[in-house]
Chain A
Amino acid sequence: MKLSEIIGILQAEVLYGEDLDRIEIKQACGSDLMSDVLCYSMQGSLLLTGLTNPQAVRTAEISEISAVCFVRGKKPPAETVDLARKNDIPLLLSKYSMYIACGKLYSAGVLGCDDRCE
């Protein structure tokens, strides 16, 4: 589904990003720990995370994740948004908890990323 739809489901605020209905999201991953995210095949997916430091954006950039959504209503610091802008990675903020955000997206048909690398 389009990222713009996901924004609706998660009642998310857009911290950075333009033309969000051109981005198609099929899979999502929820994690607060970045090493785990790096292990999976994440290109083109949505990362849900409570980790608001710039590493979340860095991980997204290196894994070619399409967009990052912060959960638990935690607003990221300026450095994080700046890095996202620099790398053109859309950033969203949802007040929902990780559990609810994942639950709602799963119910709406978004798939999980399941390419294990071990």
Chain B
Amino acid sequence: MIAANKNSQFTKIQELVYELKVAEVMTTNLITVSSDTMMSKLRSILRDNRISGTPVVKGGQMVGLISVEDFINWLSRGGVDCPVEEVMSIEGLLQELQIDYHEEEIHRYRASHFFEDMIADKVTINFHYHIRGKKIEQGGEVASDLKRSLKRLGIHPAIVRRAAIATYEAEINVIIYAEEGRVDVNVEPDVIRIEVRDRGQGIADVACAVEPGYSTAPDWVRELGFGAGMGLPNIKNCARDFDIASTVGQGTTLKISIPTGGEEKRCA
């Protein structure tokens, strides 16, 4: 294996790496060779694709780089056929690349990352969803869409999970008991507020309803996997603030807030 230790060679490889990074971003047809490809094959690969080098991959990971220069050096040493991995360049630059990607990963999970890029006195992002009552087949679609959206904002996965679970439970309640409902989610840098409002039969005994195990669900609901009486307790466990108000014959409004950083209450 040839280590990149000569100044000029280093620069050439640097250039190559830059080229490849850009190439990766620009196209999806990045040419690569596997580490056990034979050197004799490499010439036609480089020539046919008109590239001066290519990443070497093994088990789905990039393990090195092989360039025309490597090929020429190999030839000048006698050109005895061998796998590419015995000739390729590794180390140094690849590590740098890896570190770059790793840092990006860390940044993606900072809760207020997205908001830092926005310039205003106050920033709120609002999501609004409509729920159709009785449509149990669609149960969870709103929660799922919200989850995807929150993830996209770069909010910490554990917080996203809480918001998704709370919304899912609320959504199922609306579907089972109401004609229709709506979900309004306000995302601010420190907190996510979720309000679920429905038009439906309402809750006769709110105090009982929030107790684990208590359920007024009809049998058809139990057969579908719900009605174990854990819906409201689950929501309560995911939230910091929890408020539920209901009028029998009219409907129910549920409001919760979930902080996006700091100490986390164990929920799920």
The answer to whether any beta carbons of A and B sit under 8 Å apart in the complex is yes
Query: Interface of A with B (CB < 8 Å)?
Result: 32-36, 38-43, 49, 51, 53-56, 58-59, 61-64, 79, 115, 117-118
Contact, CB under 8 Å: B144 / A117? no
- Report the separation of the CA atoms of residues A25 and B234 in the bound assembly, to the nearest whole angstrom: 25
Docked pose: A114 CA to B136 CA in angstroms? 29
- Provide the bound-state CA to CA distance between A57 and B144, in Å: 11
Which residues from 50 to 87 on chain B have a C-beta closer than 8 Å to any C-beta of chain A?
A: none
B168: which of A33, A51, A58, A115 is its contact (CB, 8 Å)?
A58
Identify the closest chain A residue to B141 (Cβ). Answer: A58
Q: A51: which of B224, B267, B268 is its contact (CB, 8 Å)?
A: B224
Min Cβ gap A30→B in Å is 13
List the count of A-B residue pairs having beta carbons below 8 Å apart: 88
Contact check, A117 vs B225: say whether CB atoms are below 8 A apart. no
- Decide yes or no: A35 and B137 within 8 Å by CB, A58-B168, A62-B161, A62-B165 being known contacts: no
Q: A118 to B140, alpha carbons, bound, how many Å?
A: 23
Instruction: Choose among B227, B230, B266, B268 the residue with the greatest number of A CB atoms under 10 Å from its CB.
Output: B268
Contact A118 B212 (CB under 8 A): yes
Contacts A33-B226, A36-B228, A55-B225 known; A62 to B168 CB distance under 8 Å? yes
Say which residue of B136, B222, B224, B234 sits within 8 Å of A39 (CB atoms): B234
- Is there a chain A Cβ closer than 8 Å to B237's Cβ? yes
Q: With A53-B137, A62-B161, A64-B161 as known contacts, state yes or no: A40 contacts B268, CB within 8 Å.
A: yes
If A35-B229, A49-B225, A58-B139 are given as contacts, then 13 extra A-B residue pairs at C-beta distance below 8 Å, sorted by A number, are A32-B225, A33-B228, A39-B237, A53-B224, A54-B139, A55-B140, A55-B225, A61-B147, A62-B140, A62-B144, A62-B147, A63-B161, A118-B237
B224, A118: Cβ atoms closer than 8 Å:
no
**Contact partner, A55, options B164, B165, B224, B267, Cβ 8 Å:** B224
> Given known contacts A38-B169, A58-B139, A59-B140, is B234 in contact with A33 (CB within 8 Å)?
no
Residues of chain A within 8 A (CB-CB) of B155 are none
